[in-house]
Structure 1
Amino acid sequence: MSINISVIVPLKNEEESLPELAAWIKRVMDDNKYTYEVWMVDDGSTDESWAVIERLAAENHCIKGIRFQRNYGKSAALSEGFRAAQGDVVITMDADLQDSPDEIPGLYNMIVVDGYDLVSGWKKKRYDPIMKTIPSKFFNWATTKMSGIYLHDFNCGLKSYKKKVVKSIEVYGEMHRYIPVIAKWAGFRKIGEKVVEHRARKYGVTKFGLERFINGFLDLASIMFVGKFGKRPMHFFGALGSLFFFVGFGIAFYLAFEKIFHDQYKMTERPIFYLALLIMIIGSQLFLTGFIAELVTRNAADRNTYLIEEKLDNANKA
């Protein structure tokens, strides 16, 4: 039987909210007559979350679980959920009841009816502390400027995807907040946004940490670089290295010219001479980095793996 929707719920220490969330999701699915599955991914909980998932799965065959041996992070939980999902539309949401399952029909219709590849929720009215909302606004602004994707809330856990999207992208590290960017670089261009309800936390405490500020910027830089130069690193390092080398060489040539025709001073007596040497050395290192990266890329197992939308082959038609 075809599954309309796969719901993926990454979680850590959410034993109190899981029964209420499971009942809420079931009510929405039954009211809309969707066929569905719910993958609850336990990311190394230290409370009774897994026992609750086992009980819920015994009561409802649509609920399934994955349990990590230790805490790997939200990106890892989503990655395993994406791998397991079989629904035509995949919806992700947090387990803390701040995301409302009542948003599922709207998110589903934007994929199936409106033809979006990915729809990201926008928590227009938030119930988070200011230490979380202010940095979030800055991250969203920076990500929009760097990626060209105009979304108000990249990090919203409530999103919907075509099945093909989640089977085509790789999420790791802290990159779950940049899934729209990863999807864009994979070739999925129709990315939309939907205003969704955000609810105050009912149980437990937030898992938000200050270290995410640094990790967020590093992951964004990684995505932008890999997405643009992942299969052609020489275009980045080689061009930058050549620029540095020729700038340094130009300075050295000028100093040599001054020495030969004016003989006013020794080249090595001018600090700019050593700057020129440093620039040429850096340029050479960058060029060699690009060369080595190109060799590694060309010998990678997936070097010629590309996402194909359609293929016509009239020669093989009967």
Structure 2
Amino acid sequence: MDISVVVPLYDEVESLPELVSWIARVMSENQFTYEVILVDDGSSDGSWDMIVKLKEQFTFIKGIKFRRNYGKSAALNVGFEAAKGNVIITMDADLQDSPDEIPGLYRRIIEEKYDLVSGWKAKRYDPLSKTIPTKLFNAATRRMSGIPNLHDFNCGLKAYRNAVVKNIEVYGEMHRYIPVLAKWAGFTKIGEQVVEHRARKYGKTKFGMARFINGFLDLLSIFFVGKFGKRPMHFFGSMGVLSFLLGFASIVWVIGEKLYAIAQHIRYDRDVTQKPLFYIGLVAVIVGFQLFLTGFVAELVARSASERNKYQIEETV
């Protein structure tokens, strides 16, 4: 199979018929063999009923329904697991991503041997409340990830080699940073392509300030997991040892200063426990010990987190 199109959706019943017909037309014109995986992320507007209806008309559709709303990352992760195509295309269901971009993205994966090609919506039709946070995230992600050539990490329209989606795990709000996850997994040939961004035709945007905060926290998580996910003791342990040594040295200094004064018969009125440096050193020793224990526990957790990506799927068609 040439292409799997993975479409996560939440309350997009109005756009689904047009989107599926549009995809079918593009695929037919280019003579691709394909499947369209529609992942209903707990919609309440009748989207699943529409998927079932479309399945009767279009045999290439595969529908997956979550029992409740888990988020876009969960929908993508399940869609990736189900995808069988040599190239996987992801796109949003709101018709802001154009299926006409699929052939170009496909060719760049097949002919230019890219692992991942991310869309760049150079001209956007979103409000400033969405575009400004997006630009901030993209700038921060470029700096932290070491992928300087991508302008739009969060664009829903992307193309992947099959091996990429089978070797990454998407959860939380990590869908914003899939190129970073791919890089950490060893897929380093990452490209970009300018794509059309269309104004929303139906429904309303799902973007909110909560996603701004969650996205920032997940960016920090990606940075940590990418660097230390397999060796958390190296992060917490090194910080703990450094804190412990600095604290221990401070305590020794204060006590040594007192002993030196006694040995030299120098008047030294203040007790060791009256000096702020003694308590600062004591706190540093305690914090260092706690950080070291945190690293030890994190090592145990890292080896037993097998249930992190389990979702309740109500039914499939």
TM (norm. structure 1) is 0.92
- Residue 121 of structure 1 corresponds to 119
Is structure 2 residue 169 aligned with structure 1 residue 190? no
Match in the other structure for 1:164: 163
Q: Distance in 2 between matches of 1:152 and 1:38?
A: 27
Question: 1:276-297 CA distances to partner (integer Å, 9 max, x unpaired)?
Answer: 1001100011112222333444
Secondary structure at the counterpart of residue 200 of structure 1 = coil
Letter of the aligned partner of 1:16 in structure 2?
Answer: E
1:149-201 Cα offsets, whole Å, 9 max, x none, are: 12111110000000111111111111111111111111111111111000000
SS in 2 for 1:211: helix
Structure 1 unaligned regions, length at least 5: 303-318
Q: 1:268 aligns with which of 273, 293, 298?
A: 273
Of residues 221-230 and 71-80 in structure 1, the stretch that sits farther from structure 2 once superposed is 221-230
Task: Report how many residues are paired.
Answer: 300
**In structure 2, C-alpha distance between the alignment counterparts of 1:299 and 1:12, rounded to whole Å:** 32
Per-residue Cα deviation, 1:93-141 (whole angstroms, up to 9, x for no partner): 0000000001001110111000010111000000000000001000001
Q: Which amino acid aligns with 1:76?
A: A
1:301 shift after superposition: 7.3
- Alpha-carbon distance in structure 1 between the residues aligned to 2:278 and 2:137: 41
Measure how far apart 1:272 and its partner are: 1.8
Cα RMSD (Å):
1.4
1:75 alignment partner in structure 2: 73
User: Following the alignment from structure 1 to structure 2, what is the Cα–Cα distance between the partners of residues 255 and 272?
Assistant: 7
- Identity of paired residues, percent? 67
Which residue matches 1:63?
A: 61
Cα distance in 2, alignment partners of residues 66 and 299 from structure 1: 28
Q: Which runs of 4+ in 1 moved over 6 A?
A: 299-302
How far apart are the structure 2 equivalents of 1:115 and 1:124? 24
| Residue of structure 2 equivalent to 1:220 | 219
Cα distance, 1:262 vs structure 2: 2.1
Match in the other structure for 2:51: 53
Q: Does 1:230 align with 2:235?
A: no
SS at match of 2:159: strand
Equivalent residue in structure 1 for 2:289, among 277, 284, 290: 284
Q: Which digits, 9 at most, give the CA deviation of each residue in 1:188-246, with x for residues without a partner?
A: 11111111000000110000011011111111111111121122111111111011011
Q: Corresponding residue for 1:239?
A: 238
* Higher relative contact order (CA closer than 8 Å, sequence separation 6+): 2
- CA–CA distance in structure 2, aligned partners of residues 16 and 83 of structure 1: 27
Which residue number corresponds to residue 13 of structure 2? 15
State how far apart, in whole Å, the 1-side matches of 2:70 and 2:218 are.
16
Query: Aligned-pair distance for 1:298?
Result: 5.5
Structure 2 CA distance for aligned equivalents of residues 177 and 299 of structure 1: 26
Provide the rounded CA distance (Å) in 1 between the counterparts of 2:147 and 2:272: 51
Are the structure 2 counterparts of residues 282 and 205 from structure 1 closer, same or farther at C-alpha, using a change threshold of 3 Å? same
Between 139-148 and 291-300, the greater mean CA deviation after superposition: 291-300
